[in-house]
Structure 1
Amino acid sequence: MFPIWATGIVFAAVYAQMSTMFVEQGMMMDTSIGSFTFPPASLLSFDVISVIFWVPIYDRVIVPIARKFTGKERGFSELQRMGIGLFLSVLCMSTAALVEINRLQLARELGLVDKEVAVPLSILWQIPQCFLLGAAEIFICIGQLEFFYDQSPDAMRSLCSALALLTSSLGNYLSSFILTMVTYLTTRGGKAGWIPDNLNEGHLDYFFLLLAGLSLFNMLVYIVCAKKYKSKKAS
């Protein structure tokens, strides 16, 4: 079970971007919506809205359709659900990278590269990446809890269920480690680096693409581990 568990750490590192790099990205975008100024940190609310949106969609629409094809009462097995979530995390990071590429291109066109000011690109463009991350959360987190509860030895169910929550803290440490290494490697020689104070002269898109690539590799490792895993009958 540990290889399956370990792949959840990378997703937790991706999920940590919701309250870190997504906020940094939003601070350099147009936060005005009419007469209202949208605080970038409030993006976390879109994650909650996404979860509220996807839970009934999953239970009422996706599961009944999947049940017809798989014959499983839950629509998907725990391993299939987590695999779908990992795929959505790749899409999330890729979408975030595309938004940043467009933001940086607009900054260059308007001559704002050397200025630490927001680019006139609406912060609402971040909604798709937040919704994808919320959907990934639904598939992975619930799938993890079901997997560790059903597949763990009967006497270790509480302990193994706690392992699913441990991935969250380890994922935050991994996110910090990746950010530290990226900053160290990209600022050598006096360079601004990928994530400088002024994001207009940086390459936050490269960082998101790095996480997308890491998530893709993590998903491929997960697929290999999931195929080799032999499920036990839940008691």
Structure 2
Amino acid sequence: MTDWSGYINLILQGALVTVQLTVMGSVLALAMAFIAGLGRISQHAVLRWLATAYIEFFRGTSIFVQLFFAYFVLPFMGISLTPLQAGVLALGLNVGAYAAEVVRGAIQSVGKEQYEACVALNLSRWQCMRRIILPQALLVMLPTFGNNAIELLKATSVVSLISLADMTFQANIVRSQTGNTLVPFATILVLYFIFAMMISSAIRALERRMARGLDGVRA
């Protein structure tokens, strides 16, 4: 009879790698989203062009190709990455390109009267963005950011292609060693769902907290 405790432990070890990828990839994606999103509405044409080029490139090419490029091609350019680093880079840049359009759209959705108030208060463009526009826009961004984080979580399974031992990789190992497909893949199915629910709950809690803060400021 198969000793499943050891195999489940193997999958849980892979779950830790998946969590690492999700957290680090989300941090990179968030940073790139704000850099590119703000770049898209910049007054400088060069910044707008660079931001647009980044967004269109990573939205228009496959995550598989991006991952393989980061892991297999960059070493020929003198940049060698571990599987974890390559996974974080590919996932973060890919999801960040989608999230950048969320940032741009949310900022542009803020009413013109808010910008007029900034002018009346003699605030600089940066002060206006930081103190007035971004706090309101962030509340609009949060639900989609949550969706982006969940999409990134699910996309972490691609790193198994470069032999990074995430949940999917470990589930395949268990399947090959036991001949059983149901148990390992049902296990990671449940784990992915639990992680996704945790992200959704965290985003909703943050959204409620920010909404209360903005309500207090408006009052």
**TM-score, structure 1 as length reference:** 0.37
Which is strand-richer, 1 or 2? 1
Higher Rg:
2
**TM-score, structure 2 as length reference:** 0.39
With a CA cutoff of 8 Å and minimum separation of 6, indicate the structure with the bigger relative contact order.
1
